């Protein structure tokens, strides 16, 4: 159980393009739906709020809206 930080594969979490005011965190679940792993992403743009999205929508803890 849990995930590894610092990787881009299944069961891992990565941080890409971090700056003083921006970042993207991507977590790829070990769980699958229809052969695709569940993915959760948090993106913070400069001067804006963080957005949280996920796929596949309506499956594996991802709401139908694709946002959490």
Q: Between vectors from CA 16 to CA 36 and to CA 38, what angle results, nearest 5°?
A: 15
Asked if the structure places residue 12 within a domain, the reply is: yes
Asked if the structure places residue 62 within a domain, the reply is: no
Q: Please enumerate in sequence order all residues whose Cβ is within 8 A of that of 28, keeping only pairs 6 or more positions apart, or say none.
A: 8, 9, 10, 11, 12, 13, 37, 38, 39
Asked if the structure places residue 61 within a domain, the reply is: no
At residue 1 the predicted structure's pLDDT band, cuts being 50, 70 and 90, is very low
Which H helix or E strand runs over 16? strand 12-16
Domains contained in the chain, number: 1
Residue 41's beta-bridge partner residues? 26, 53
Asked if the structure places residue 41 within a domain, the reply is: yes
Asked if the structure places residue 60 within a domain, the reply is: no
Asked if the structure places residue 67 within a domain, the reply is: no
Q: What pLDDT is attached to residue 4?
A: 66
By residue range, what is the domain housing residue 50?
A: 4-55
- Tell whether the model's pLDDT for residue 3 goes beyond 80: no
Asked if the structure places residue 66 within a domain, the reply is: no
């Amino acid at each position: 159980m849990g995930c590894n930080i610092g990787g881009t594969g299944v069961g891992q979490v990565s941080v890409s393009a971090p700056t003083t005011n921006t970042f993207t965190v991507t977590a790829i679940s070990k769980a699958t739906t229809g052969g695709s792993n569940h993915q959760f992403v948090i993106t913070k743009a400069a001067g804006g709020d963080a957005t949280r999205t996920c796929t596949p929508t309506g499956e594996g803890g991802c709401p139908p809206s694709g946002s959490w």
